[in-house]
Amino acid sequence: MHRDSALPKMLLLGVLALVLLETACTGGSARGEQPQGPPPIPVKLQVAQVSSINDAADYVATLKSRDSAVVMPEVDGRITTIYVHSGDRVAAGAALMQIDPRKQEATVNSQEHARAAQLASLQWTRQQYERTNGLYAAGVVSKQDLDQAKAALDSAESQLQALDAQVQEQRVQLHYYRVVAPTAGIVGDVPVRVGDRVTNSTVLTTVDKPGSLEVYIYVPIERSSQLKKGLAVQVVDAAGAPMADSRVTFISPEVDNTTQTVLTKALIANNAEKLRTAQFIRARIVWGTRQSPLVPVLAVSRVAGQYFAFVAEDQGGKLVAHQKTVHIGDMVGNNYAVLDGIKPGDKVIVSGTQFLVDGAPVVPQG
């Protein structure tokens, strides 16, 4: 009986020992170190630096030459000779074309013959006046006869002067049948051919003098209040690289009723002759400068039309990545100018952003 009653007690003690052992093990684990979170992601950091950024805008503009002449005939007629080709360099007064002058030459000859006849008539009238004057002095003729002779002489002289003016006019007109260069320069396109009939509204060619050009910029009326003389202007190529620098020299006082723009002009030096008259180009007006932080292009991502960047911030002695919404401006080299969202001195994450989420721990690489 004693042995049977001792067995349950031993079993109870064994179970109690197992429970105490499990409790001890559990307590030891609870008192140990907490399980570690994900390891920090190695990233490259770049401190956002402030830089002076131009507040600029690009507009479509037209180049016009200040020394470009459109050659049009002064008279009507048929072209008989063309002395130049497109691209030829000519001096001022050099012959460009010849318009058939035969009709005008005949007119000049007719006027000259009429003048010669009038000159002979004047000489005869002068002789008559001198003869009458002598007879009047001798008392042979009356004062009325003398006055009539003097009037005839004056009329003949006036008619000769009128014919002199007509002959001179027709001679000047004859000179217009030879078309000459109004200034030294380069001959442009020659759209007419020998045998073409031209009028005083026909464009024969152009003569452009290499050198300065004038850029015509059409600025939207919304920014017209910011226009002022002296603003910096740049002519840029398709890639946005500056080709020529200038400043605003003219601002129209009127608004174009069709386009609602304000005409603005600037002189452009064309020493390298890379630009052409009537060429459409991009003109950049620099409205001013501002101080903005720069961030690398690779650090900025675009999602649903918005731009984001990661910034490493200290949190409890450790660096944590935080995603920032940024408003970007123009590109400056390989960087974006940030208008809002990042402050100077922020540690911008420039690599490994594809592995980051907001709040992820990071560690500087390198």
Q: Model confidence over 307-323: pLDDT tens digits?
A: 999 999 988 888 999 99
Among residues 239, 271, 290, which one ends one of the domains?
Answer: 290
Q: From CA 26, how far away is CA 20, in angstroms rounded?
A: 10
| 3-state DSSP assignment of residue 361 | strand
| Mean pLDDT on 53-79 | 88
Cβ partners under 8 Å of residue 115, min gap 6: 160, 163, 164, 166, 167
Q: From CA 315, how far away is CA 40, in angstroms rounded?
A: 13
Claim to verify: residue 184 and residue 161 sit in the same structural domain: yes
Give the pLDDT score at 116.
94
Give the residue among 51, 43, 57, 41 at the shortest CA–CA distance from 295: 51
Domain CATH for 217: 2.40.30.170
Tell me if 87 is assigned to some domain: yes
| Mean pLDDT on 122-140 | 92
Claim to verify: residue 169 and residue 286 sit in the same structural domain: no
Which tokens is 63 given?
Answer: 């180049």
Q: Residue 274, CB half-sphere, CA atoms under 13 Å: how many? A: 10
Q: Which domain range does residue 348 map to?
A: 41-51+291-364
When pLDDT is cut at 50, 70 and 90, the band that residue 32 belongs to is very low
Give residue for tokens 């000047």: 172
Share of the chain above pLDDT 70, in %: 89
Tell me if 215 is assigned to some domain: yes
Tally of domains in the chain? 3
Claim to verify: residue 324 and residue 261 sit in the same structural domain: no
Q: From CA 241, how far away is CA 225, in angstroms rounded?
A: 27
Q: Which H or E element spans position 142?
A: none
Per the prediction, the chain carries an average pLDDT of: 85
Among residues 290, 311, 337, which one ends one of the domains?
Answer: 290
Claim to verify: residue 198 and residue 217 sit in the same structural domain: no
Give the residue among 277, 279, 216, 282 at the shortest CA–CA distance from 251: 216
Claim to verify: residue 80 and residue 201 sit in the same structural domain: yes
Burial class (CB in 10 A: 0-12, 13-18, 19+), 114: middle
Pairing of strands 41-43, 361-364: parallel
Give the pLDDT score at 159.
94
Name, of 20-29, 199-208, 239-248, the range with top average pLDDT.
199-208
For residues 43 and 321, the answer to whether their CB atoms sit within 8 Å is: yes
Tell me if 251 is assigned to some domain: yes
